[in-house]
Structure 1
Amino acid sequence: MKKKYAAVVLLTGVLMLNSCAANNSDSSKATVTDDIKSSGSVFAMDTYMTITAYGQNGKKGIEAAQKEITKLEKLWSVTDENSEIYTLDHSGGTEVPVSAETEELLNFAIDMHWQTKGALDITLYPVLRAWGFTTGEYCVPDDSEISALLECKGVERISVGNGKAYIPKNTEIDLGAVAKGCAGDAAAKALKEHGVTSALLDLGGNIQTIGDAKPDGTKWKVGIRDPFGEGSIGTLAVGECAVITSGGYERFFEKDGVIYKHILDPETGRPADSGLASVTVIGKEGRLCDALSTSLYVMGLDDACAYWRDSVDLEMILISDDGGVYVTEGIAENFSPKVENVTVIER
């Protein structure tokens, strides 16, 4: 069930994703220790990541988080010849040893494939490569090439357990749809283990927060990107959670007047034509939000809403190709839109 409400909030000085934790002006609510702010960055998983932590343990926490992210990239890179995923992709159909982290993430990705009825498929890597989305050498593959590559995909071909993984020859996997979310979870855990109770992680648009409020007592403010232009379509106030967005605007190319976007439909091997421009998923677990932001984009509005109604502790902001904004009821009151009308999705 959906209902309409008009936006009545005028946004002034909207904070975008990489500066959400900058406002600590209310000194009456912050202690001297809370006022200590540390920042760090790392380039990993093909994106620039920043971490801002508050408190006396912030610097050590950030260093630990950076090490965790770097470690995971070395495990999951599809281009690093020393990574476990590269080794698996080039194993020629033989079983290879994998770490506990890789085994866990592979099992999670397989489970999400079945939960989303195939909308998330980590075996699409050869198809993505054929389009040039992994290399930047863009082209439109012909139907016969796509059909041949689709014959090699299939999550059911993956076998993983007891510290080993197997995929048949000509099948290749890419954990890009879940890796950053999982890295965010691991980085947040590292920060907490070092005593950090307030932090903001921006992993290339994947936002994760630590603490139900900033040191000044206010909620974290996350700008939701406008998929049709610069700036945001609104601001979301959140506590401790992950806020992860996927959209066709992130990577695309144009040929002969046609725009081809990087999120592929596993059924067709072509850019998903779901009617959605972007999907933002809000929840407690980064890897789940990451996986769902991609798969719900592929599903389209109606199926995404149906999935949400069957879920627990999960919220969404969907933007359609025609500019419609759809917000689930659990976060509607915390979303301050710039557009005039927003549709609230009810259970």
Structure 2
Amino acid sequence: MKKRMIALFFIGILGLTALCGCSKASSDPSSTEGDTSASDNETYEVVDNGNDSYSLELFAMDTYMTLTAYGDQETCSDALIASATEINRLEDLFSTNIASSEVAQINANGGGSVSDETAYLIEKSLEYYEQTSGAYDITVYPLVYEWGFTTQDYKVPDQATISSLLELIGSDMLHIEDNTVTFDKEGMMIDLGTIAKGYASQQVMGIFEKYGITSGLVSLGGNVQTLNAKPDGSDWKVAIQNPDVYNGATDYMGVLEVTDKAVTTAGGYERYFEEDGIIYRHIFDPSTGCPTTSSLKSVTVVADDGTDADGYDTPLFVMDLEAATKFWQEHADDFSIILMDENDQVYVSEDIADDFSSDYDVTILKRK
């Protein structure tokens, strides 16, 4: 855990995995017994980093997070504590493993009523599903659970099991109307883990602004979002993790300079297991029911909105290089991308090429 946020902020996120609190995962993905609120007994410590910089660390949404604000001590402390409280509140809404969360209740009961915020994320998820032709799908949760990525009881299911669970996958069978969620098939479940941290980072930016913070950033398990520029007016420098950790890589594959942007990365290196010489990554292809075999090793999305950045990186990872590039070209006004393929070739969209530096070979992706 880092005690201070300085020049570089490493990023790299869990993709299609369940949000969870600090409680032990149940053996039943729809069970809500024995789990506790993320905010139970939570205390916060604000650290004075010097130079009018203050930070707060917490563990939420299954990852370590660091929030940093610049300004006077009282204002920064109030803003940071309010932000941490908000993150835990959101986890209590969205987690699959907290008994009282709205998502856990939906999964346990086969549907039900939800708050405006949960409804908003489900509706956004359905938009991503349509835009990406199903590459983004929050109903993949039963498969992710069966493979053991939510419990760390990893296994490769037999094809009959995968085929059976594929019958439950498809956001076209998920409906929400007047904040009421329904499924077409019994046994369907959802997981908002692929966009919850992005939404949380966006909410923190709003809290910072409410408290009058004019410069700050958050690193939520790799999801980085910045408020304005650094206090001296310069860009923030965000280091993107080298995804080749399977072979012991500890460096980063590039540095991106940003101001007032969200930067999220999907990569298979955060959670994976190996069986019979095959590495299975935690990001799933909803069409096969298996971890993706995409030739891409890392996908970074840069956007104005944290939810959108988080929502696009996972489906782009599922796509191959050609499809991901084409998708970006069709949505180039909405976000920017940095890709790395299995040959360690890096591809950067032209709009951020001048802000990105790397020791790897870089190809600039052009708009249509």
TM-score past 0.5 threshold? yes
User: C-alpha displacement at 1:16, in angstroms?
Assistant: 3.6
Instruction: Provide, for residues 189-239 of structure 1, a one-character-per-residue CA deviation record: whole Å limited to 9, x for no partner.
Output: 11111111100100000000001x200121100001101111211111111
What's 1:147 paired with?
163
What's 1:104 paired with?
120
User: C-alpha displacement at 1:141, in angstroms?
Assistant: 0.4
* Structure 2: gaps of 5 or more residues: 1-5, 12-49
What's 1:28 paired with?
none
User: C-alpha displacement at 1:42, in angstroms?
Assistant: 1.6
What's 1:31 paired with?
none
User: C-alpha displacement at 1:263, in angstroms?
Assistant: 0.5
Match of 1:240 among 260, 268, 286: 260
What's 1:288 paired with?
308
1:111-190 equivalences in 2 (<5 Å): 111-167=127-183, 168-190=185-207
Q: How many residues align?
A: 316
Aligned mates of 1:87, 1:169 — CA distance in 2 = 14
User: C-alpha displacement at 1:157, in angstroms?
Assistant: 1.8
Identity %: 42
**Which consecutive segments of 4 or more residues in structure 1 shift more than 6 A?**
none
What's 2:105 paired with?
87
Aligned mates of 1:14, 1:48 — CA distance in 2 = 19
> Contact conserved, 1:123 with 1:154, CA < 8 A, in 2?
yes
Aligned mates of 2:133, 2:85 — CA distance in 1 = 35
Q: Which moved more, 1:99-108 or 1:307-316?
A: 307-316
Aligned mates of 2:291, 2:7 — CA distance in 1 = 32
Matched, 1:41 2:61: no
Aligned mates of 2:135, 2:302 — CA distance in 1 = 19
Aligned mates of 2:364, 2:7 — CA distance in 1 = 22
What's 1:68 paired with?
86
3-state DSSP class of the match of 1:166? strand
User: C-alpha displacement at 1:37, in angstroms?
Assistant: 1.2
Aligned mates of 1:300, 1:42 — CA distance in 2 = 35
Aligned mates of 2:182, 2:152 — CA distance in 1 = 29
Matched, 1:17 2:10: yes
What's 1:326 paired with?
347
User: C-alpha displacement at 1:290, in angstroms?
Assistant: 0.6
Aligned mates of 1:163, 1:119 — CA distance in 2 = 24
What's 1:10 paired with?
none
Matched, 1:203 2:217: no
3-state DSSP class of the match of 1:169? coil
> Contact conserved, 2:202 with 2:307, CA < 8 A, in 1?
yes
What's 2:15 paired with?
none
What's 1:261 paired with?
281
TM-score, reference length from structure 2: 0.83
Q: Which moved more, 1:225-234 or 1:136-145?
A: 225-234
Q: Which moved more, 1:115-124 or 1:304-313?
A: 304-313
Aligned mates of 1:65, 1:16 — CA distance in 2 = 19
Aligned mates of 1:303, 1:145 — CA distance in 2 = 29
Aligned mates of 1:316, 1:66 — CA distance in 2 = 29
CA-atom RMSD, angstroms? Answer: 1.5
What amino acid is the match of 2:8?
L
TM-score, reference length from structure 1: 0.88
3-state DSSP class of the match of 1:236? strand
User: C-alpha displacement at 1:14, in angstroms?
Assistant: 7.1
> Contact conserved, 1:16 with 1:232, CA < 8 A, in 2?
no
> Contact conserved, 2:338 with 2:346, CA < 8 A, in 1?
yes
